[in-house]
Structure 1
Amino acid sequence: MARVKSGFRKRFNIRYWRWWVAKASIGKVAWLRRRFSFYPAVLTPTEAAGEVLEDRREDLPTLFTPLETAFVTERCWPYDTLARDWAGGASVPVHRLAATIQAAELLGHVSRIALPARHGIVMHDVTFANWNFAKARRLRELPAIASRSHLLARTDNYYHLLFHDLVPLVDYLDRLHPKGMPLTLVLPPSRLASLALGCKLLAQAYPGIDLVDLPADAKRFSQEALWLSFDAGNAEWTVGDAAPVHRLAELFRAHYGVEAGGGRRLFFSRGASKIRRLRNEEALWRLAQAHGFERFEATGSNHAEQVRAFSQADIVIGVHGAGLGNLLFCRPGTRLIEIFPENFTKSTYLWLSKRIGLDYRWLIGSEGDYDQAFTLDEALFEATLNEVLAASPAGQG
């Protein structure tokens, strides 16, 4: 698998040893822990919860066909993040948890909720808080938050921003949050302007929401910090309901003045991206162009066009990557052909397609190199494209 560090590289690096030195020194003294905001213990959300708002376990249908089930279990499971607890059945056990954590600290340098009184970082599915999640740093203290707060994750990944931050928040606001109760959304640093925009749109749509920043060199005390999680035994699988996805899409469309419609066929290019480059993209693009596809690339400055293009697409072809998070804006029935290198297949968008009603297919190319650069057989691509187009609903072919 491309870009995987060996166990030796994971352990014998400066951050690893800094963490152990900090744990052995700062972590042993309460005064130093507070002064350097270093809390090496791990607390599960359930252990940290002051009030549980929802704790629901259920078996959720995967909606996979037998062929899709085999694709996930045989190909994707080794590459899906934290994949476990599912052996290919027609349903998967899921756990929805919404809780509040009292007297918490929100830490900007790791974008985590901490409980200083218990010397711990609140984390899910992790027993070891390494340097990425618990590190020593002097943080300036910003004004405390008296109302309920929610710390957004610190991510520059567009898919995670949408489906692990904003969609669960919409789900919470629509189902669990008392109407009119103040809620402060705490925004960490991010290169993605769509994070701040999404939070601004929620503040406009739901009464009582306020926005504050949390820089990387600061912390805020929160009287009541909100925890939201959806666990389906696979970190690639996000919230299981279509309603919050469609609700968030509506907010972005309204902001940009975009109408959902049909008629567009997108060949979604990764452009000059170093990771997962399709070596024979030009040849594949020429085949798609002959069938009326337009080549489209997402950039940091064309988010409105991303929303418009995916809202109006009948078919989307693209290599696996965070940019396909724009599937959030697709209408039910939109067809997706996702392309992978042979040695890096994930079930992220298959799961999403089943949740929001997209017609999903996949194509697998050659083995990727260290940067996952690969090729896709052109005859296979054209045959699949012809098959999908032949099966187009009336008016879309």
Structure 2
Amino acid sequence: MARVKSGFRKRFNIRYWRWQATHATIGKIGVLRRRFSFYPKAVHPAKAATQILEDRSFDLPTLFIPEETAFVRDKCWPYDTLAGDWAGEPTAKARQIAVTIRDAELLGHVGLIMTPPHQAVVMLQEGTANWNFAKARTLRQDPPIAGRCHFLPRTDNYYHALFHDLVPLVDYLERLHPRGMPLTLVCTPARLAILRQACALLEKAYPGLRTVELAENAKVPVEEALWLSFEAGNAEWNFADAAPVHRMAEIFRDHYGLPGGSGRRLFFSRGGSKIRRLLNEDALFEIAKAHGFERFEARADNHAEQVRSFSEADIVIGVHGAGLGNLAFCRPGTKMLEIFPENFTKSTYLWVSRHIGLDYHWVVGGPGDYDQAFSLDETIFRQKLEALLRHEPT
């Protein structure tokens, strides 16, 4: 989520009204729904399931100290995605689900599973599917996929690829998947090459896996679709156990042949990103540089260096954004200082840090504009950084 749109802008645009017209016509006639793969109804995976592999509800400790609890409750909750009714308790209600759905269909244009008995797409939010996940389109039908398969949704967000797609899959492979049982990973074309690379690495790590690609203009019937999900206080809190995160990191490190290392101090730059640009980044970097920090920027062609840099870092400074998903590769105990604009504070990486053993800190700058470009007071940054380096509370 980058720009927050008003209700007026969401409702009064041509895409919204085109969808409403489609819902009122094609959505009401079964033969047309099937012809154009338009399924505006959503069903919960537990209801769509043929077999339940795991469905557990439990109280999950947040691991927040009181100051962090107040920060999340009072500052982050308005910006956290799908924030629920958590009000600062030391635990959050969590539900972890792994089910299979037989004789389903994978839809490339929306990246979802469709279950024919319900004539609905499978989503955690039941009822009418969000209009981004119900689109009318004539799709090519690909040959059926036999056996069990897992659909990796289309995403162009690096953090979501790591923590929403890969971590749950690794968790399933480590705990629930019968060893050697065939499993087909289905990917849609995405701008993130990392997702396709990860599937290739998982094929090497887990015998029986193979990967196929489903084009955006195609659909495919499958014998058994696997659904994995984790629900807690909000969509930012998306895993319970550090083990699959560390296992995923190990698979990438082994692939890149990275030796162990430490001692680096990273000032993680968003570079030329239009969203959440730190307007006085150069001035802040000069302050950090005096304490031994190096500036590092993630690019599509330097993933090996991303994994290496975060693996070797003792301290990471960075503005909130998808690139901080690389915290998955940090060693336990690594310090993290996250920078926010005043009007966009999220609990994503505080949650990640607490659950994989990182030492998390934050600092809030001035208000961001429509693109969330903002500045951070240099004195406040210097004080925060120096206190962090002295191992003092901030």
TM-score of the two chains, using structure 1 as the length reference: 0.97
Q: Distance in 1 between matches of 2:99 and 2:366?
A: 45
Q: Secondary structure at the match of 2:52?
A: strand
Match of 1:113 in 2: 113
Q: Find out whether 1:304 has 2:300 as its counterpart.
A: no
Question: How far apart in 1 are the matches of 2:15 and 2:227?
Answer: 28
After TM superposition, the structure 1 = structure 2 runs for residues 248-327 of structure 1, keeping only pairs within 5 Å, are: 248-327=248-327
Tell me which residue corresponds to 2:243.
243
* 1:122 Cα offset (Å): 0.7
Counterpart position of 1:165: 165
Q: Distance in 1 between matches of 2:18 and 2:70?
A: 43
- Equivalent positions of 1:111-260 (< 5 A) are 111-260=111-260
How many residues are matched?
392
Over the matched positions of the two proteins, sequence identity in percent amounts to 67
CA-atom RMSD in angstroms: 1.2
What is the distance in 2 between the residues matched to 1:284 and 1:315? 15
User: CA–CA distance in 2 between the matches of 1:34 and 1:95?
Assistant: 32
Distance 2:312 2:357 in 1: 15
Counterpart-to-counterpart distance in 1, 2:10 and 2:261 = 48
What CA deviation, in whole Å up to 9, does each residue of 1:210-253 have, x standing for no partner? Answer: 10001100011111101101100200111111100000001101
Q: Return the offset for 1:128.
A: 2.4
Give the superposition deviation at 1:191. Answer: 0.6
CA drift of 1:259 comes to: 2.0
- 1:134 Cα shift? 0.9
Any stretches of 5+ residues in structure 1 without a counterpart? Answer: 393-397
Q: Distance in 1 between matches of 2:28 and 2:106?
A: 21
1:74-127 Cα offsets, whole Å, 9 max, x none, are: 000000001113111111111001101111110000000011332211111253
**Paired residue type of 1:105:** E
For residue 262 of structure 1, give the secondary structure of its aligned residue in structure 2: coil
- SS of the equivalent of 1:363 reads strand
Match of residue 20 from structure 1: 20
What does residue 42 of structure 1 align with?
Answer: 42
- The alpha-carbon deviation at position 3 of structure 1 amounts to 2.0
Moved more, 185-194 or 253-262: 253-262
Shift of 1:386: 1.0
For each residue in 1:191-220, what CA deviation from the matched residue of structure 2 results, as whole angstroms up to 9, or x when unmatched?
111100111111110011110001100011
- Partner of 1:272: helix, strand, or coil? coil
| 2: CA distance, partners of 1:69 / 1:256 | 37
SS in 2 for 1:117: coil
Q: 1:303 to 1:244 in 2, by over 3 A?
A: same
Q: Secondary structure at the match of 1:311?
A: helix
Q: Are the counterparts in 1 of residues 2 and 275 from structure 2 also a CA contact under 8 Å?
A: no
Output one character per residue of 1:297-317: Cα deviation in whole Å (capped at 9) or x when no partner.
001111111011001000000
| Structure 2 match to 1:369 | 369
Question: Letter of the aligned partner of 1:352 in structure 2?
Answer: V
Q: Does 1:74 align with 2:86?
A: no
Q: Which residue of 2 aligns with 1:32?
A: 32
Could you tell me how far 1:2 is from its partner in structure 2? 7.0
CA contact (8 A) 1:15 1:131 kept: no
Mind listing any 5+ residue stretches in structure 2 that lack a counterpart? none
AA in 2 matched with 1:175 = R
- What residue is the counterpart of 1:350 in the other structure? 350
Partner SS for 1:323: helix
CA contact (8 A) 2:48 2:118 kept: no
- Matched-pair contact (CA < 8 Å) for 1:315–1:334: yes
Contact 1:96 1:229 in 2 (8 A): yes
State the alpha-carbon separation in 1 of the partners of residues 25 and 257 from structure 2.
55
1:54 alignment counterpart: 54
Which range moved further: 243-252 or 254-263? Answer: 254-263
Q: Is the 8 A contact 1:19 1:130 kept in 2?
A: no
Q: Quick check: 1:38–1:135 contact (8 Å CA) kept in 2?
A: yes
Q: Hey, what's the Cα distance between the residues in 1 that align with 2:260 and 2:197?
A: 20
Tell me the TM-score normalised to structure 2 length: 0.97
Amino acid at match of 1:368: G
Contact 1:62-1:90 within 8 A present in 2 as well: yes
C-alpha contact 1:39 1:116 (8 A) present in aligned 2: no
| SS of equivalent residue, structure 1 residue 143 | coil
Distance 1:164 1:8, change over 3 A: same
Tell me how far apart the structure 2 counterparts of residues 308 and 256 of structure 1 sit (CA, whole Å): 9
State yes or no: 1:103 paired with 2:103.
Answer: yes
For residue 390 of structure 1, report the CA deviation from its aligned partner.
1.4
Q: Is the contact made by 2:366 and 2:374 (CA closer than 8 Å) also made in structure 1?
A: yes
Q: Distance in 2 between matches of 1:85 and 1:79?
A: 14
Tell whether the 8 Å contact from 1:275 to 1:373 is kept in structure 2 after alignment: yes
Per the TM alignment, residue 25 of structure 1 is displaced from its structure 2 partner at its CA by 1.8
Deviation at 1:40, TM superposition (A): 1.4
Q: How big is the shift at 1:153?
A: 1.4
1:18, distance to aligned residue in structure 2 (A):
2.0
3-state DSSP of counterpart to 1:318: strand
Q: Quick check: 2:203–2:209 contact (8 Å CA) kept in 1? A: yes
Letter in 2 for 1:190: A
Partner deviation per Cα, 1:56-77 (whole Å, 9 max, x = no partner): 0111111100000000000000
The answer to whether the 8 A contact 2:269-2:319 is kept is yes
Q: Distance in 1 between matches of 2:126 and 2:29?
A: 23
Give the conservation status (yes or no) of the 8 Å contact 2:43–2:125. no
